[in-house]
Chain A
Amino acid sequence: MAPVTRPLFDPPIVRRAVRDAFRKLDLRHMVRNPVMFVVLVGSVLTTLVLARDLIEGRTAIGFTLQIALWLWFTVVFANFAEAMAEGRGKAQADTLRRSRSQTLAKKLDDPRERTRTRSVGAAELRRGDVVLCQPGDLIPGDGEVIEGVASVDESAITGESAPVIRESGGDRSAVTGGTRVLSDFLVVRITANPGETFLDRMIGLVEGAKRQKTPNEIALIILLSGLTIVFLLAVVTLQPFAIYSGGAVSIPILVALLVCLIPTTIGGLLSAIGIAGMDRMIQHNVIAMSGRAVEAAGDVDTLLLDKTGTITLGNRQAVAFVPADGVPPQALADAAQLASLADETPEGRSIVVLAKTGYGLRERDITGLGASFIPFSAQTRLSGVNVDGRRIRKGASDAIEAFVSEQGGTTPSGVRAAVEAIAREGGTPLVVAEGGRTLGVIHLKDIVKGGIKERFAELRRMGIKTVMITGDNPLTAAAVAAEAGVDDFLAQAKPEDKMALIKREQAGGRLVAMTGDGTNDAPALAQADVAVAMNSGTQAAKEAGNLIDLDSNPTKLIEVVEIGKQLLITRGSLTTFSIANDVAKYFAIIPAMFMATYPALQALNIMRLHSAESAILSAVVFNALIIIALIPLALRGVRWRPAPASTILRRNLWIYGVGGILIPFAGIKVLDVLLTLLHLA
């Protein structure tokens, strides 16, 4: 799925949302949102009063009519907000569905007989079936490669156009239905029945069809329902007080007061905020398997980050040559470059490049030299070249030491010291020798990604601890950790160690987030509170994770946390705003309600609203329009910058708390002036 940046009010989405807003008036849907259900009941009640007034032929029904209309609008506006949030997901789901076109699969009845294929529809494939995929074929379903290596175009899922390699065995064996084989062939064992594939699940998640309320949403709904009951009591008991005081209040006015007081703003926008949060994840190419995962992302206390790829660039690079005593630096550089010409690893390339940039040694044509290359092996732990009778080797210091003494030489103490010094700094020393003579040491170093230190500092300000996970020895790990500015590190990490670390953090009450892709990551992913699985990873890893990063970019974890926080901040800010709004509405409605009974209460009409009708109507209209006005904020999320909680709190309280108290005063006054000008009240 290509990352789509849709305008907020995309006309087709708006059209669909308008339709859905009315469709959602269905009682079965409304009853799931207690706050808006109360508004619906109020609208019905007011409409009934209106009908009675019409039948009895009373005059001055304009006011009741307008109240009734605006109450209905309030309900529809809230539905519209939810439909808008869903609409964006639905549009994306439609794009996904297109890639699930009716594919024909080449089914192998006998996996060993690759020539005997049978053509079946993709929808008929079941778990355990084996299919052959050749260049140009769409892979018919999720599965595991059991034979072959091929490049696969996964852009339909990830939006990434560069093809990826899929091969049997190891961590790159999972394939996703709907992706296309570009070269070679794959024999794939199907692992998901139709309707249960990754693509299907993704469509379901994106559409919000299987969306369940998150724990925090449930808690918030309880709070909002509780407040609704409080206000219901305040309004219902107001009638006896009014009767005592000598003037009953009409039903539409009581309903108007109730609807203005109950938290309709947040009640109407709550589910839109949640859906939009998942949608923002999707825009970052992360699929949240549940809303709960998005919420937990905001809560994370500890981030476990793999060193390689997240904190450092994929590989180590040569940064210096340290010659042995009496060896000219030029000679060491020359030998190092010769030994690395055939070494296609990034480390090898970096040595060649350093020799060229640092010592002006041009890259030589390896075939022209008539050299024979000694490849790296796990036994010898060194590599090198034999050329013109020169036997040049590079490798770990103990391996080279063994090689040198075999040739009758000794390792000078200066080289040993250099090796230790490099290791202490967190670098990797590679010793270069020619025959029995040790020439010097190459300093290989992890290169920390640009800007990552600042990211970690931001995380620390937000109270999030970063832990670097690496297979390196503690010395190297400590040096990289210090350079990258992580809070802690786990060196020589085995999967069990990672698991133990997660459990330890959790026992201390912290929430842990991590990324992973390999099968051996699966248990840790399952244990972590927020587990981002790489889409390029194994099926086991993807099943253990609760978020899937389609770009397979481990740095994404930080963005995931930020999106989670943004979701929670938006929810909290609008809740605060919604409750703070009530103050102004009281000052509009209460004096208007009792204008006849106690004219003295006009002293509370501090907005100087024109008349009782205009005051009540303005409050109701404001209450309805504010939902529409806040839809963009609910969908986009509140803007925020990483900062300590106290700073964020102060900022948001000024905007949404104090602002929430003041804005309705201005808004209601403006509406009152407008309504009076238009002779609507």
Chain B
Amino acid sequence: MTPNGWLQILVFWAAVLLVTKPMGLYILRVYDGSLRWLGPVERAIYRWCGVDPAEDQHWTRYAAGLLVFSAASMLATYVALRLQAHLPLNPFHRVAVTDRQAFETAASFTTNTNWQSYSGETVMSYLSQMMQLAFHNFTSAASGMAAAMALARGLSRRSAGRIGNVWTDLVRGTLYLFLPFSFVLALLFVQQGVIQNVHPYATATTLEGAKQVLAMGPVASQEAIKQLGTNGGGFFNANAAHPFENPTPWTNFLSMLAIFLVPAGLTYTFGRMVKNPRHGWALWAAMFVLFAAGVGAAYWAEARGNPIHAARGVNVVASATNPGGNMEGKEVRFGIANSALYATVTTDASCGAVNAMHDSFTPLGGLVPLVNIQLGELIFGGVGSGLYGMLVMAVLTVFIAGLTVGRTPEYLGKKIQSREVRMAMLYVLIFPAVILVFTAVSAVLPAGLKGPGNGGPHGLSEILYAFTSVTGNNGSAFAGLTGTTTYYNTMLGLGTLFGRFAMMVPMLALAGFLSERKIVPASAGTFPVSSPLFVALLVGVILIVGALTFFPALSLGPVVEHLLMGAGRLF
């Protein structure tokens, strides 16, 4: 670890802190309807769709709206991918995407996962990239935000199960939040050299005189929303490690900041909505503590490198001319600090974009992204989904520890009773259930065992990472796993759907139930939810619930791999 590396990390932390409040205030205005500069467009959309924007929907209707919208757009994408050969903007005559891969891709993009078992530059037409995938990048982000707003409303008001209007939430999020910010960010990216064209692929002559085909495309526009919407699906297979997607340290920095921009701001928005900005900051702090710990661990593990290399006489000490540590699978222009930081950010925030290959990290370095996702994608988390994941954990924290102050648990004045606990537990339960069951099945079925590219504990890590990534709607790949089989396309596609909707529905039910509760005014006897003590408790509950669930699996994967590496064995 170098001072320069830490300095870059510190600058990033400071930037996240600085953008939180202004971004939070802006989001607040997006969703309370006070932004009107696209009023005519907004009204036209409502008119055209036959939606009454003034309707305050019951949670069942709200959930149904989100599900129907997602199902319809997923189906449209599936059809478009299957028919891509017959559609325009297909200069290289890409053929139809296979059935299972189309299903998996449609599911993956609808759920804000962006797990990609294809290489964008060789499988997708420009139309598929721009119309289908980019469309989902916007709408899946907007639907996550909508769901978070619904839960925030359930906690902030008393309204007999009514939690807002799904259609206005989707439209406003897209129009006022994601479109303008993506527009500006895309321009910044283009200025830095990210490509944006629909040209045919270019041919270049390499220094050795060989011919190389360089893939082209409308990259910057997709790159912007991929980060802002915590989607993570790269235009190219190499994702943000590709110089056309992420050419400079500035684009790298902006990308990471864009990933955290909305989730961090949302904590402030929430604090304002529940009239307790300090609580918003408490949530931010809990996220930040986990984030900082992840960065520290990953940076330490990667900078330390592989002891076997050192034992063979390789110089792994960082110096002005040597990055040191473990540089396998990393871009030289980013180095260890920025690769570790990027890996932590992208897995904290269910983004899944990568600028280095997590598969090539040291076992402990690779454990960090894995654990980040397994904690429930709530360390800032996906746009919207990070906040609602954190709020469900806050509800559980208050329920577990709240009794110790001598009152039945209440969160922000709302009593937490059996209906609320049932939904919160369902939410918490589905996530490890999908990951563990799918991984366990794949670890013994022949079809599953064909996937991992390595044996031993590293192979288990690869399977575990894949199902963790899709269920957490992260989409980053550990790589090393051959995911293009029918088995994996199906299972991983299903994983994304369970991880999104099987969790979102109980969460919306929780929002509805909470909205029915009256708000008990806070007093000295109320469980404190804004103090450092609460932050510590929340972090503790997240770690204990997450760790207890995945500890056995992790100990047979990365943990034992790390211990064996110490003993000189690699996989």
Contacts and interface: CB of A to CB of B under 8 A. Distances in A.
Interface in A637-681: 640, 644-646, 648-650, 652-653, 656-657
B436 A463 contact: no
A460 interface: yes
Contacts of A463: 523-526
A603 B563 contact: yes
Contact of A572 (B403, B545, B567): B403
Interface in B530-565: 531, 533, 537, 540, 544-545, 547-553, 555-556, 559-560, 563-564
Interface stretch (A196-204, A293-301, A381-389): A293-301
A657 B541 CA distance: 10
B447 interface: no
B555 to A, nearest CB: 5
Nearest to A562: B406
A613 B402 CA distance: 38
B193 to A, nearest CB: 45
Interface residues of A, number: 74
A244 B525 CA distance: 52
Contacts of A236: 440
A510 interface: yes
Most buried by A among B402, B437, B548, B559: B548
Contacts of A242: 556
B527 interface: yes
Interface string A255-296: 000000100000000000000000000000000000000010
A668 to B, nearest CB: 16
B533 A464 contact: no
A650 B401 CA distance: 11
Contacts of B429: 226, 229-230
B399 A298 contact: no
Contact of A598 (B399, B422, B564): B564
Contacts of A299: 407-408
A460 B524 contact: yes
A245 B544 contact: no
Contacts of B426: 226
A31 interface: no
Contacts of B459: 244
Nearest to A585: B548
Contact of A510 (B396, B428, B521): B521
B421 A648 contact: no
Interface stretch (A50-58, A433-441, A573-581): A573-581
B247 interface: no
Interface string B411-429: 0010011101110011011
B71 interface: no
B400 interface: yes
A645 B526 contact: yes
Contacts of A644: 524-525
Interface in A220-257: 220, 222-223, 225-227, 229-231, 233-245
B527 A649 contact: yes
Contacts of B418: 215, 218-219, 222
Most buried by A among B396, B402, B525: B525
Interface string B294-325: 00000000000000000000000000000000
A216 B444 contact: no
B374 to A, nearest CB: 12
A240 B553 CA distance: 10
Given A583-B544, A649-B401, A652-B404, A237 B439 contact: yes
Given A600-B564, A604-B559, A656-B404, 6 more contacts: A215-B417, A222-B422, A463-B525, A509-B519, A509-B521, A653-B401
Interface of B: 396, 399-409, 413, 416-418, 420-422, 425-426, 428-429, 432-433, 436-437, 439-441, 443-444, 457, 459-460, 518-521, 523-528, 531, 533, 537, 540, 544-545, 547-553, 555-556, 559-560, 563-564, 566-567
Interface of A: 215-216, 218-220, 222-223, 225-227, 229-231, 233-245, 261, 295, 298-299, 301, 460-465, 508-511, 564-566, 568-569, 571-573, 575-576, 579-580, 582-583, 586, 590, 594, 598, 600-601, 603-604, 640, 644-646, 648-650, 652-653, 656-657
Closest 8 CB pairs of A and B: A572-B403, A463-B525, A463-B523, A565-B406, A226-B425, A463-B524, A572-B404, A237-B440
12 contacts: A219-B416, A227-B425, A234-B549, A237-B440, A240-B444, A244-B460, A509-B518, A569-B406, A579-B544, A582-B548, A644-B525, A646-B528
